Amino acid sequence: MTPPNLSPADQQRLDDLYARLRECSTRSVGYPCNQAFDYSDLFRFLEFSINNVGDPFHGTNYRLNTMEFEREVLADFARFSRAPADEWWGYVTSGGTEGNMYGLYVARELFPDGICYFSEDTHYSVAKVLRLQHTRNIMIKSQPDGQMDYADLRETLRIHRDVPPIIFANIGTTMTGAVDDLAQIRAIMDDLAIGNAYIHADAALSGMILPFVDAPQPWTFADGADSISISGHKMLGSPVPCGVVLARKANVDRIARSIEYIGALDTTIAGSRSGFSPLLLWHRLRSLGDAGLRNMVHTCLGNAGYAVQQFRAQGIEAWCHPNSITVVFPKPPPSMMEKWTIAPRKNIGHLIVMPHVTRPTIDAFVADYATALKPPP
């Protein structure tokens, strides 16, 4: 193999890009991507064309795969999300969106005439998935804090009692970190005597927070979820986007199809899948361990509480849901947006207190916000 031979100009472009990314990474405070990780142990695996095509539990003819590690990652997530022993299935996805798509796909195959209910605060990708799948759907109102409006859900379900509901529950909304209450949703369906129903939990960010807190909101398989999607590059942190989806095995078995060419069960949405991202997740889970994960989550929750205090000390009305690291505040003036990477929506903005968002960073952010509010001298 000839060594790579970039022109000096192209080499310079890479150096410039590297410098720019380095500079940005600590100022990225508005998106839920953990930037604090060290995966240098794994760089040598970039030498191979690894591919986890097909079902991780079935194996494939393509030998350059990491499915053994993928299965260990999935088993950890199954434990975190209280999946029923030997009754779950899953795979490492390209991110939270693919996991949501998978959950909605299983739901639609089970209930072809089902109606999907999701709140106004649901991630923008979900409307797209529902359109792709031609799934009937109804948007439910949100409460001001970002949770689903349960009264509106009840009323809407009551009108459509003859059609199986597919509930798309937010376990941590993107903007405010609100958790839709699975216990309340189940109770409403019981009350209306709705037997056939499916619940998908979109736990993109909070699926890696709630397993490590003392009083989590109900969100797991044990609380009634039928499938759960969690992003890998959010709370855990990864240099490439990835995620995990888990579902009840009996439901998955009904839609599995065998494909002879790859010698695999075609149960996944993507065909070729990264074999590198399962290694990243495995490395992270094994190097931190449950105690390290708990510690990371508690540090972030503590820092989120600290951020709320610091904002309030400046007269800025910030707040945060229980067990959430998303600190919500009124949308900052435009001058703030140039310096800091923030994701605004309507009249609010938020700081997502990930591990790389330290107290000095919070102090600098709050100070800039307070300065931006002051009229020019």
> What Cα–Cα distance (Å) separates residue 138 from each residue in 119, 152, 228, 373?
9, 11, 20, 40
Are 173 and 145 in contact by the 8 Å Cβ rule? The answer is no
What distance in Å separates the CA atoms of residue 42 and residue 121, rounded to the nearest whole number? Answer: 37
CB of 206 to ligand PLP, least distance (A): 8
Return phi, psi of residue 353, to 5°.
-85, 75
Q: Is 121 exposed, middle or buried (0-12, 13-18, 19+ CB in 10 A)?
A: buried
| C-beta of residue 52 within 8 angstroms of C-beta of residue 242 | no
Q: How many CB atoms lie within 10 A of CB 231?
A: 26
- Dihedral over Cα of 170, 175, 177, 180: its sign: negative
Sequence letter at residue 227: S
Which of 51, 231, 267, 323 is close enough to bind ligand PLP by CB under 6 A?
231
Residue closer to ligand PLP (CB basis): 106 or 194: 106
What minimum distance in Å lies between the beta carbon of 83 and ligand PLP? 20
* Piece of the chain touching ligand PLP by CB under 6 A; list 17-25, 81-89, 134-142, 169-177: 169-177
Q: Are strands 348-352 and 264-265 parallel, antiparallel or unpaired?
A: unpaired
Q: Does 350 bind ligand PLP (CB under 6 A)?
A: no
Q: Which of 119, 287, 324, 335 is catalytic?
A: 324
180 binds ligand PLP (CB under 6 A): no
For residue 133, state whether it binds ligand PLP (rule: CB under 6 A).
no
In the complex, minimum distance from the CB of residue 231 to ligand PLP, in angstroms, rounded to a whole number: 4
- Can you tell me which of 205, 297, 327, 352 binds ligand PLP, judged by CB under 6 A? 205
Distance CA 135, CA 165 (A): 11
User: Rule CB under 6 A: is residue 324 a binding residue for ligand PLP?
Assistant: no
**CA 76 to CA 100: how far, in whole Å?**
19
Residue 164 binding ligand PLP, by CB under 6 A = no
Decide: is 54 part of the binding site for ligand PLP (CB under 6 A): no
Q: Does 70 bind ligand PLP (CB under 6 A)?
A: no
Q: Which residue is nearest to ligand PLP (CB)?
A: 96
∠ Cα 129 59 269 (to 5°)? 5
Nearer to ligand PLP, 101 or 153 (CB): 101
CA distances from 107 to 34, 196, 226, 257, 260 (A): 31, 11, 9, 16, 26
Query: Minimum distance from CB of 135 to ligand PLP (Å)?
Result: 17
Helix (H, G, I), strand (E, B) or coil at 5: coil
Exactly one of 185, 188, 199, 204 binds ligand PLP (CB under 6 A); which one? 204
Say whether 93 sits in a helix, a strand or coil: strand
Closest CA to 273 of 95, 39, 81: 95
140: alpha, beta or left? (left if phi > 0; alpha if psi -120 to 50): beta
Question: DSSP string covering 266-314, please?
Answer: --SSSSS-BSHHHHHHHHHHHHHHHHHHHHHHHHHHHHHHHHHHHHHHT
Question: Phi and psi dihedrals of 367, rounded to 5?
Answer: -65, -45
Q: Could you tell me the smallest distance in angstroms from the CB atom of residue 225 to ligand PLP?
A: 14
205 or 300, CB closer to ligand PLP?
A: 205
Residue with Cβ nearer ligand PLP (128 or 254): 128
Q: Does 299 bind ligand PLP (CB under 6 A)?
A: no
3-state secondary structure of 167: strand
324 is catalytic: yes
For residue 272, the minimal CB distance to ligand PLP (Å) is 18
Binding segment for ligand PLP (CB under 6 A), chosen from 167-175, 292-300, 331-339, 361-369, is 167-175
Of 181-200, binders to ligand PLP (CB under 6 A) are none
| Binding letters toward ligand PLP, positions 91-130, x by CB under 6 A | ----xxx-------------------------x-x-----
Task: Select the span of 112-120, 178-186, 201-209, 357-365 touching ligand PLP (CB under 6 A).
Answer: 201-209
Choose which of 66, 135, 137, 174 interacts with ligand PLP (CB under 6 A).
174
Q: Which residues are catalytic?
A: 324
Interface with ligand PLP (CB under 6 A): 95-97, 123, 125, 170, 172-174, 202, 204-205, 231, 241, 243
